[in-house]
Amino acid sequence: MTKPEKIAFILAFTQLFKHFGTPKSWCPFVAIAIALILEVVERPTGPGVFDGLILGIMVTGGFNLVKNGSEFVLNKPKTTDFSEMEHDTDRGAD
- Position 37 in a domain: yes
- Position 30 in a domain: yes
- Per residue in 1-59, pLDDT (tens digit) is 787 788 888 888 888 888 888 777 777 888 888 888 888 888 787 888 888 888 888 88
- Position 83 in a domain: no
- What's the pLDDT score for residue 53? 82
- Position 61 in a domain: yes
- Position 41 in a domain: yes
Domain that holds residue 54: 3-68
- What's the pLDDT score for residue 9? 85
Predicted TM-score (pTM) of this structure: 0.60
- Position 39 in a domain: yes
For residue 65, give every residue at least 6 positions away whose Cβ sits within 8 Å of its Cβ, in sequence order, or none. Answer: none
Task: Count how many domains the chain has.
Answer: 1
- Position 59 in a domain: yes
